[in-house]
C-alpha cells in the first residue's frame, strides 16, 4: 500500500495562450483508488491526456513507480502499464467482443503476415471476462449489441487484462442509469479487493464515485485545490468548495 | 482443452432456440452480408435467361466477365478506402494513367514485368499523395481525390498527347496479364477472383483489416488505443490506387491498346456502386470485398442483360438506374429479414 504507482510534479500545460493546467502535483499509491473531481473545463481531461501519453506537459515531471519517465505516446504509456478507459470506451461497435478485448494488442498466428489468432483471443477473452464476472451473452457478438454498462465493463476488463498497473477511468458513470453505474462501481470495488491496480477515476458527479474512492483531489481552474482521504471529508464539504468557487466567479463577473 | 465446456454454453446462450441443423444453416446463410446480393443476382440471371436465351451462352458470359472483372478489382480497393472512412474519386483516372507509365517505361527499354511494377508504383504514389493530403492537411478525401482526379487526367492526356498507344507484349506477358484462353477471358477472371479473395482475407483475418474497420468504425477510439489511423488511411489509399493501376494495365493488355480516355469517373462510379450494392456502408466501419465482387457481377448482369434484350441506348441508362435502385431495395429488404432472422 505504501509503494508509489504514479506521481506528477508541478505539471503545467498550455495550448497557445490558454493555460489548461497549472502546477499540478498528484500522487497515486499502489492499490489506491483516487477520485479526480472537478467541474467541466477544470482541466480533468487535459490531465488525463497527459497521463495517458496523448499530450506532453509544457513543464513538470512524471514519475512512474518512482522512476522519472517521459510518456512518449499512448502506446508507450500502455506498454508501461498505464491503461486509459475513455468516455467513448474506445470500443469498435462493428467488431466482436473478443477482438475488441485485444485491439492493438492482437495475438497473431503469423507475425510476418499479421494473421490474427482468433481462436486463442476468443478463448482468453472468455476466460478473463468470466473471471471478472462480466456477464455478456457471448464474446462473438458485436459491441453494438451490448448495453452501456456491459460495454463499460468490457472496456475496464480489457484494461485490466492488458496488465494495467494504473487504470485511468474517464467519467465511468456518465450517461448511465443507476443500475448500470452500480455495475461499474462494483467492478471497480472488485479491482480494489484484489489491490493489484491503482485507479484514478475522473468524474464530475461526486456522489457517484465518492464511495469507491480512497482519496479525492479537487481540480479547479487547472489547479489542485483539495487533497484528502475520503474518510476525512464528505460530499457536502466538496460541494461547499465548489459553491465557493462559483460565488467567487460570479463576484468577478460583477466587478468587471 | 479444459475451456471447451464454457464455449458450448455461451454458444447455446447466443442462439437459444435452434430449430434444426438445416434451419441453422439457412440462418447462417441469411446472416452473412453477401447473401442478399447473391440472391438478387440469381433472380436477375433467371429473369434475363428467360427473356433472352443467349444470356447464358459462353460468348455472353465472356462479355460479362470482362466487364465485371475490371470493376471488381477497382471495387476491392474502393471497399478498403470506404471502410476506413474515406472515399477515392480518382481511382478511375489512375486506371487510365498506369498503362501509359508502363508503355513509356517499356519504350525506354524497361522489360514488361518491371514496367508493370512501375505502373503500379505510379498508382502507389498517387495513393500516397491522396492519403497525405487527406490525413496531414485535413482535407476531406472527397475534395482531395476530386482534385487529384483532374490532375491525373490532365497528366495522362499530356504525356499521351491525347492519343492511344499499342503495347506489343511477348506471349508470356500477354497470356498472364491479358490473354483469353479458348476465347474466354480466363486471366481476367482469375485475377479478379484472386484479388477479391486476397483482399477479403486481409479485411477479415489480418491485423490490417481489423484496424481498417476500427479506424472507420470509431476514429477517435481507434486512435485512443494507439492504432496508427493516419498510416491505415494512407495505406488503404495506396492499395486502392495500386489496384486501379493494375486493373488499367490488365485491360490495356487485353485489348492491346492504352486509351487516355479509358476508365475515368464512369469506372469509379461503377466500382463504388458495386461496393455499396454489395453491402459496404458509405459511412465506414463495415463492408465486404466479396460483396463488392458480387455487386460488380450484378452491375454486369444488368447492363449486359438489357443490351441483349435489345433495349434502346437512349432508355438504357434510365432502366439501368431504376434496376440499381430496385436491386438495392431488394437488398435492404433482405438485410432487414436477416437482422430479424439472426435473433441477436
Q: How many C-beta atoms lie closer than 10 Å to residue A182's C-beta?
A: 14
For residue A70, give the DSSP letter.
Answer: -
> What digits encode the pLDDT tens for the residues B204-237?
999 999 999 999 999 999 988 889 999 999 999 9
Instruction: Rounding to the nearest 10 degrees, give the CA dihedral for residues A36, A39, A45, A46.
Output: -100
- Inter-chain touch A75–B217, beta carbons under 8 Å: no
pLDDT in tens, B104-122: 999 999 999 999 999 999 9
Number of inter-chain CB pairs under 8 A, A vs B = 92
Which of B15, B203, B218, B222 is the best residue to mutate to test the A interface, defined by the most A CB atoms within 10 Å of its own CB?
A: B218
Q: Mean pLDDT, chain B, as a whole number?
A: 87
Question: Who among B207, B211, B344 is closest to A141 (CB)?
Answer: B344
Confidence of residue B268 (pLDDT cuts 50, 70, 90): very high
Residue B4 pLDDT class (50, 70, 90 cuts)? very low
Write down the residue that cell numbers 476500427 correspond to: B214
User: Rounded to an integer, what is the distance from CA B97 to the centroid of its chain?
Assistant: 18
- pLDDT > 90: what percent of chain B? 61
Asked if A25 contacts A52 with a C-beta cutoff of 8 angstroms, the reply is no
Answer yes or no: is pLDDT of B293 > 90.
yes
Positions of chain A with pLDDT lower than 70, given as ranges = 1-2, 175, 177, 195, 256
Distance from the B41 Cα atom to the nearest Cα atom in chain A, whole angstroms: 26
Reported confidence tier of residue B30, pLDDT bands at 50, 70, 90:
low
pLDDT of B18 higher than 60: no
Residue of B nearest to A118 (CA): B205
Reported confidence tier of residue B21, pLDDT bands at 50, 70, 90: low
Structure ipTM over 0.90, yes or no: no
pLDDT for residue B19: 45
Among chain B residues, the shortest Cα distance to A130 is held by B6
- Measured N-to-C along each axis, helices B229-255 and B207-217 cross at an angle, to the nearest 10 degrees, of 110
pLDDT digits (tens, 9 = 90+) for B150-188: 999 999 999 999 999 999 888 888 889 987 887 889 999
Which of B13, B210, B220 shows the shortest C-beta gap to A95? Answer: B210
CA angle A58, A61, A62 (to 5 degrees): 115
Is the predicted pLDDT of residue B20 greater than 90, yes or no?
no
Amino acid at each position: 500500500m505504501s509503494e508509489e504507482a504514479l506521481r506528477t510534479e508541478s505539471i503545467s500545460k498550455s495550448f497557445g495562450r490558454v493555460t489548461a493546467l497549472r502546477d499540478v502535483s498528484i500522487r497515486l499509491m499502489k492499490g489506491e483508488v483516487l477520485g479526480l473531481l472537478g467541474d467541466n473545463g477544470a482541466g480533468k481531461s487535459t490531465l488525463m491526456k497527459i497521463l495517458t501519453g496523448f499530450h506532453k506537459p509544457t513543464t513538470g515531471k512524471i514519475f512512474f513507480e518512482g522512476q522519472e519517465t517521459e510518456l512518449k505516446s499512448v502506446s508507450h504509456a500502455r506498454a508501461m502499464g498505464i491503461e486509459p478507459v475513455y468516455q467513448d470506451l474506445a470500443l469498435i461497435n462493428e467488431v466482436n467482443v473478443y477482438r475488441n478485448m485485444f485491439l492493438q494488442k492482437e495475438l497473431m498466428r503469423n507475425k510476418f503476415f499479421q494473421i490474427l489468432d482468433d481462436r486463442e483471443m476468443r478463448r482468453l477473452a472468455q476466460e478473463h471476462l468470466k473471471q471478472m464476472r462480466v456477464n455478456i451473452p457471448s464474446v462473438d457478438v458485436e459491441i453494438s449489441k451490448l448495453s452501456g454498462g456491459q460495454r463499460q465493463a468490457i472496456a475496464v476488463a480489457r484494461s485490466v487484462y492488458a496488465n494495467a498497473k494504473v487504470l485511468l477511468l474517464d467519467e465511468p458513470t456518465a450517461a448511465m442509469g443507476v443500475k448500470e453505474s452500480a455495475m461499474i462501481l462494483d467492478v471497480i470495488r472488485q479491482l480494489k479487493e484484489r489491490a493489484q491496480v491503482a485507479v484514478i477515476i475522473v468524474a464530475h458527479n461526486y456522489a457517484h464515485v465518492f464511495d469507491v474512492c480512497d482519496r479525492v483531489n479537487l481540480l479547479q481552474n487547472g489547479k489542485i485545490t483539495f487533497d484528502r482521504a475520503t474518510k476525512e471529508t464528505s460530499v457536502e464539504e466538496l460541494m461547499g468548495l465548489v459553491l465557493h468557487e462559483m460565488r467567487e466567479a460570479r463576484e468577478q463577473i460583477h466587478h468587471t | 482443452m479444459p475451456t471447451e465446456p464454457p464455449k458450448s454454453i455461451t454458444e447455446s446462450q447466443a442462439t437459444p432456440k435452434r430449430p434444426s441443423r438445416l434451419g441453422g444453416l439457412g440462418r447462417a446463410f441469411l446472416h452473412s452480408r453477401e447473401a442478399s446480393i447473391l440472391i438478387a443476382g440469381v433472380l436477375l440471371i433467371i429473369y434475363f435467361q428467360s427473356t433472352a436465351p443467349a444470356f447464358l451462352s459462353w460468348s455472353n458470359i465472356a462479355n460479362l466477365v470482362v466487364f465485371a472483372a475490371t470493376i471488381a478489382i477497382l471495387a476491392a480497393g474502393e471497399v478498403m478506402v470506404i471502410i476506413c472512412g474515406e472515399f477515392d474519386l480518382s481511382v478511375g483516372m489512375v486506371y487510365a494513367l498506369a498503362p501509359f507509365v508502363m508503355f513509356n517505361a517499356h519504350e525506354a527499354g524497361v522489360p514488361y514485368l518491371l514496367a508493370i511494377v512501375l505502373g503500379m508504383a505510379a498508382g502507389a504514389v498517387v495513393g500516397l499523395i491522396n492519403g497525405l493530403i487527406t490525413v496531414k492537411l485535413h482535407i476531406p478525401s472527397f475534395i482531395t481525390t476530386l482534385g487529384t482526379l483532374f490532375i491525373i487526367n490532365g497528366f495522362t492526356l499530356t504525356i499521351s498527347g491525347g492519343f492511344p498507344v499499342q503495347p506489343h507484349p511477348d506471349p508470356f506477358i500477354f497470356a498472364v496479364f491479358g490473354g483469353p484462353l479458348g476465347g474466354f477471358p480466363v486471366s481476367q477472371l482469375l485475377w479478379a477472383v484472386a484479388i477479391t479473395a486476397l483482399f477479403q482475407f486481409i479485411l477479415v483475418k489480418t491485423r490490417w483489416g481489423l484496424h481498417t474497420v476500427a479506424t472507420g468504425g470509431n476514429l477517435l477510439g481507434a486512435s485512443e488505443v494507439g492504432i496508427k489511423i493516419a498510416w491505415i488511411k494512407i495505406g488503404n489509399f495506396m492499395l486502392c490506387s495500386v489496384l486501379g493501376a493494375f486493373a488499367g494495365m490488365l485491360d490495356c493488355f487485353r485489348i492491346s491498346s492504352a486509351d487516355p480516355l479509358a476508365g475515368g469517373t464512369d469506372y469509379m462510379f461503377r466500382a463504388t456502386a458495386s461496393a455499396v450494392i454489395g453491402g459496404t456502408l458509405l459511412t465506414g466501419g463495415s463492408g465486404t470485398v466479396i460483396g463488392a465482387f458480387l455487386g460488380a457481377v450484378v452491375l454486369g448482369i444488368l447492363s449486359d442483360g438489357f443490351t441483349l434484350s435489345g433495349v434502346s441506348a437512349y432508355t438504357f441508362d434510365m432502366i439501368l438506374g431504376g434496376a440499381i435502385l430496385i436491386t438495392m431495395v431488394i437488398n435492404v429488404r433482405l438485410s432487414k429479414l436477416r437482422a430479424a432472422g439472426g435473433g441477436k
